[in-house]
Amino acid sequence: FGIEMALGRSPDIAINHDAEAIALHAANHPTSKHYREDIWKVDPLEATGGRPVGLMWLSPDCKHFSKAKGGKPVSKKIRGLAWVVIKWAKLVRPRVIYLENVEEFQTWGPLGADNRPCPLKKGRTFKRWKSSLENLGYTVGFREDRASDMGTPTIRKRLFLVARRDAMPITWPAPTHAAKPARGSGLKPWRTAAECIDWSLPCPSIFDRDRPLAEATMRRIARGLQRYVFEAADPFIVRIGHT
């Protein structure tokens, strides 16, 4: 939807190996050409039909970089997925390339003998990958951002990278929101996910599960209640129809 909002049109091509992801995208963008396929197996020249490519957006699998995974990455195949960017850049020369990933993507480096990331070589592969784009004539810029600073209710930090070969400058949007806007800054407070939830819809309670919640999950719930309800100056309370 972001690409369509920015350009006023749906993407021409969408590629994903996951059937549900492709089905959802096809429902929202019926005019796009969809490939349910490993992106390495898609021929860029056949897919684009010889047409010039103005924009290519990529979000390579991030779970083998993210600290949210719980353990360190071990899959060389998934960790190397971003090299497909270079393949497409060589063959179809997109005018602008966007890439979004977790912030730890910048630490991409070789694995050691124990099949774990080598701390002494942290970031080496990322720098080589970035240089490959630059050697193809791209100017590359990247930075970490939170979408919440732009008015979207999520505080997760992400790495955004732009590569362009049209001699135009890389510009970044100015923030419109902040966690605690300074007086006179013109910034609005961060939005909350609660704004996006229809609280009137029936939903089973997480406490009525057949399998009990993990102790760590219960502790996180307790901390949230303590911080945002019991000790908050403006407690977060969901109003429902029957109370």
Diameter of the chain by CA atoms?
A: 64
Q: Report the predicted TM-score, pTM, of the whole model to 2 decimal places.
A: 0.80
The region of weakest confidence among 7-16, 54-63, 218-227 is: 54-63
- Pairwise CA distance, residues 96 & 89, whole Å: 10
Which helix (H) or strand (E) segment holds residue 177: the answer is: strand 177-178
Q: What pLDDT digit, counting tens, does each position of 10-39 carry?
A: 999 999 999 999 999 999 999 999 999 999
The predicted structure's pLDDT at residue 203: 83
Single out the residue of 110, 144, 112, 111 nearest to residue 127, CA to CA: 110
**pLDDT above 70 covers what percent of the chain?**
91
Q: Which amino acid is at 45?
A: L
Task: Report pLDDT digits (tens) over 70-122.
Answer: 555 556 666 678 999 999 999 999 999 999 999 999 999 888 888 788 889 99
